[in-house]
Amino acid sequence: MDIYTRAYLGAKAADALAMPVHWYYDTAALDRDYSGLREYRAPAGRHPDSILWRSSYEPADAEGDILHDQAVYWGRKGIHYHQFLEAGENTLNFRLADELYRTVIGKGGYDADAWLDRYVACMRTPGWHRDTYIEEVHRGFFEKRARGIPLRKCGIDDLHIGGLAQVPALVAALKATDTFSMDVVLTHVSLTHHHPDTLAAAGALVRMLCCMAEGGSLQDALSGGGASWAGMKSLDKWAALPDRTLVGRKLSTACYLPESFTASLALVWKHRDDFTAGILANALCGGDSCHRGAVVGALLGAAHPIPQQWIDGLIDSKGVTAKRN
């Protein structure tokens, strides 16, 4: 299996592992609710840190309905963001990444307009995904679409690390179809997330993956593509810290770039020799662990063969592995 496919599967594995503990900011509650987490699990019940009770989305018209049957759970306390997902299932942004991968493979290359049509169709189809929470970036996109704004201009100025969720899948698909271009990757990310920090992080992630695919080590990748986010001296110093001191006290567990990207690179370097240890540490640090997983899982997946348990346990992996074995 080539490095780009491993990176894509690694990102999916990190997301699926973190899914039940996603956006837990109280690590004591995380440990209580998911004691001994070392495998894919389904959400166990209520989410003590859930913000759905103060979240709202009112579609401007029927075309803007992207919550579907999940809308009844908004405004309630304790609702888990991914309450209906099964063990090994991916969250919404990674489901979209899978759809993007299949779309690019099917067309033999990337077509932004075709992707936007597919994105809208997926989000508008009841039951296409089973996530309860829909991030602000998707709500913002459909609010702008309802005002008649062209799809290519419906993205928002979003600087969340969730903007990187589709990058490993897109790079894997572009490489598989011999159509890779950094400009294509950045164009794609900007369709939904056009904040400069999001685009810079996407570019850095791609450069690191390409470095390893061309024979560079993980250290080469980090000291090159990741240098402006975290220098090797800092990464070496931080690697001596306990995981939750590193990501939780030294660096934030929150979703905002640039710090969430730096935190991801710090976890990658600390666990540079062990894919499983890295994605477990990412999940157990709490916060926006699913979207950090796009970076942690991709870079560690590119650096090492992924243990088969993490591939076999994914609900949606056959379409990926079948293409690139």
* In-domain check, residue 122: yes
CATH of the domain at 131: 1.10.4080.10
For 100, 247, 260, 289, 314, the CA distances from 253, given in Å and listed in that order, are 27, 6, 7, 8, 25
Cβ within 8 Å of residue 298, ≥6 positions away: 7, 8, 10, 11, 14, 167, 168, 205, 209
User: Which of the four pLDDT bands, split at 50, 70 and 90, describes residue 62?
Assistant: confident
Q: According to the model, what pLDDT value does residue 318 have?
A: 61
- Alpha carbon separation from 279 to 3, 39, 54, 297 (Å, rounded): 17, 10, 30, 6
Confidence band, pLDDT 50/70/90 cuts, at residue 283: very high
> Domain for residue 323, yes or no?
no
Give the number of domains in the chain.
1
Q: Does residue 9 sit within a domain?
A: yes
Residue 190 lies in a domain: yes
26: containing domain: 3-314
More confidently predicted of 274 and 57: 274
pLDDT digits (tens, 9 = 90+) for 174-202: 999 999 999 999 999 999 999 999 999 99
pTM for the whole structure: 0.96
In a domain, 324, yes or no: no
pLDDT surpasses 80 at 323: no
Does 126 have pLDDT greater than 80? yes
Percent of the chain predicted with pLDDT > 70: 98
Confirm if 83 and 43 have CB atoms less than 8 A apart.
Answer: yes
Q: With 90 as the cut, is the pLDDT of residue 56 above it?
A: no
Q: Is residue 325 part of a domain?
A: no
* pLDDT tens profile 11-51: 999 999 999 999 999 999 999 999 999 999 999 989 999 99
Instruction: Please give the average per-residue pLDDT across 115-120, as a whole number.
Output: 98
Among 28-42, 46-60, 156-170, the minimum mean pLDDT is found in 46-60
pLDDT band at 156; cut points 50, 70, 90: very high
Residue 269 belongs to some domain of the structure: yes
Mean pLDDT calculated for residue range 54-65: 87
| 226 within some domain | yes
Q: What is the mean pLDDT of residues 118-134?
A: 96
